[in-house]
Amino acid sequence: MTSSRPLEQVLANVDSTLDQSLERLFALLRIKSISTDSAYAKDCVEAAEWLAADLRTIGFAAEVRPTGGHPAVVAKSPGDAGRHALFYGHYDVQPVDPLNLWDTPPFEPSLATGPDGAKRILARGACDDKGQVMTFVEACRAWKAVTGSLPVGLTLLIEGEEESGSKHLFDFVRANKDDLKADVALVCDTGMWDSDTPAITTSLRGLVYEEVKVIAADRDLHSGVYGGAARNPIHVLGRIVGAIHGDDGRIAIPGFYDGVKDLPPDVKADWEGLGLTADAFLGPIGLSEPIGEKGRLLIEMIQSRPTCDVNGIIGGYTGEGTKTVIPSEASAKVSFRLVAGQDPLKIREAFHAFVRSLLPVDCKVEFISYKASPAIELPWTMPALTAARAALTAEWGRKAVTIGSGGSIPIVGDFKNVLGLDTLLVGFGLEDDRVHSPNEKYDLKSFHKGIRSWARILDALAQ
């Protein structure tokens, strides 16, 4: 990648000031900003104020703003180029329970050497998301130290309620949409493909969550008296649930795949080259055979294809011992993970119609509808994506992969729906970082090269 800016000097600054960068990260990690527990409300305010103060030292106009819950930090800095980016992260962390399983105190950050010889940052929030946020902040600091400015204009939005559902964030974004205008959004709350291969998450699956209840008799029945004559709603529900998937692994609900597209050939070739196997993915959890659509790569099944899972079944007697009843009702909780091209409301309607089509005489059905959010997918030819991918490849010496995520990140949808922004999801976490668990860690390599990566990406976005 060519650059008219002194990128190499910026990268050298990152290397020479790594110890100071670690000191700043450790200061933030010491703050017990647990958003789910009201006992730590003052700590959340302290974390927001610490970040705002730190950002002011590198020229950002930073404010701590109320949200109705824990405050958010909004910081702005002009750049030399016409482009403007919005960076999102969060300063709040998960609770630390059970405390007795931590090898070191969760809010006393330290460096340790892992079994593989790699140095690790140990603390709650080391990866999720304080360490990741600070990779971006420190990249900005390096640019300011070397050039006195940033390659692009930046707005930072760092919230304090991600770990408790971001329940005030949507209203905050909507109320401040003029203040958050940008050309692209950047999020650092994801991970690498492996410790040497950088990744950009280009798609997030949507979600439809339903509860279906099948009702038969007007009360629970004695199975010795009514068995063989009365409808058993557990049997009915079991047949319905069993009919959702065909023998080929495809979902049999009519219209379910309407709008679903195959991967572009070059992306599929990249994914195939990653070599994800059933042994590697399923073996550690005691399984061996993928059950998704026949003829699909395993990585497709979990990242780019829609799915349906039954998350719970309730019906009849479930207590200790025996009780010979035919229950009057049975229910199941069912979730659908959606991909680009699928309409959540149409999927919901199709599911309801599918269930009703299999309902026998003497039974009725009730539905409780919960979440319904669409999938998010970046355009494969998006210039910012191409630029960021080249920047990551240059830093890590391996082609950066574009991957999907089976999960959902609601703020990405809000950025698209409210601000009209596509989001680059770039992160440096690893599978073994023990996010949300005791002994959370963040590899020093992830932190160091994460800073260098963002320095390169900012340079690339300016061009």
**10-24 confidence digits (pLDDT tens):** 999 999 999 999 999
pLDDT, tens only, 192-247: 999 999 999 998 898 999 999 999 999 999 999 999 999 999 999 999 999 999 99
The fraction of the chain above a pLDDT of 90, given in percent, is 89
Contact between 12 and 140 (Cβ < 8 Å) = no
Interatomic CA distance for residues 121 and 117, integer angstroms: 13
Q: Which of 382, 376, 402, 390 is nearest to 201 (CA)?
A: 402
Instruction: Residue 266: count other Cβ atoms within 10 Å of its Cβ.
Output: 10
Give me the pLDDT at residue 211, please.
Answer: 97
| Angle of CA points 193, 195, 200, to nearest 5° | 35
Query: Of 319 and 410, which is predicted with more confidence?
Result: 319
The secondary structure of residue 164, as a DSSP letter, is G
Give me the pLDDT at residue 45, please.
Answer: 98
Interatomic CA distance for residues 163 and 182, integer angstroms: 25
CA distances in angstroms from 204 to 195, 207, 408, listed in the order given: 22, 10, 5
- Tokens standing for residue 426: 């770039």
Interatomic CA distance for residues 447 and 461, integer angstroms: 21
Quote the CATH superfamily of domain 7-204+375-461: Zn peptidases (3.40.630.10)
Helix or strand or coil: residue 312? strand
Indicate the pLDDT class of residue 343, thresholds 50, 70 and 90: very high
Interatomic CA distance for residues 310 and 113, integer angstroms: 42
pLDDT, tens only, 51-93: 999 999 999 999 999 999 999 999 999 876 689 999 999 999 9
Kind and range of the H or E run holding 348: helix 344-357
Contact between 401 and 192 (Cβ < 8 Å) = no
- Tokens standing for residue 168: 């005030």
Strand pairing class (206-215; 72-77): unpaired
**pLDDT value at 380 more than 90:** no
Give me the pLDDT at residue 5, please.
Answer: 65
Residue with tokens 């003029």: 178
Interatomic CA distance for residues 36 and 164, integer angstroms: 5
Q: Which long-range contacts (CB under 8 A, 24 or more apart) does 19-23 make?
A: 21/134, 21/138, 21/141, 21/447, 21/451, 22/111, 22/121, 22/444, 22/447
Architecture per CATH, domain 206-260+301-373, reads as: 2-Layer Sandwich (3.30)
The DSSP line for 78-117 is -BSSS-EEEEEEE--B----SGGG-SS-TTS-EEEE-TTS
Interatomic CA distance for residues 280 and 238, integer angstroms: 32
Interatomic CA distance for residues 308 and 409, integer angstroms: 19
Residue with tokens 């750049």: 79
Q: Which of 113, 135, 257, 260 is nearest to 192 (CA)?
A: 135
Q: Where are the domains of the chain?
A: 7-204+375-461, 206-260+301-373
Interatomic CA distance for residues 362 and 230, integer angstroms: 9
Indicate the pLDDT class of residue 294, thresholds 50, 70 and 90: very high
Tell me the β-bridge partners of 220. Answer: none
**pLDDT value at 1 more than 70:** no
If you average pLDDT over each of 164-168, 311-315, 375-379, which comes out highest?
A: 311-315
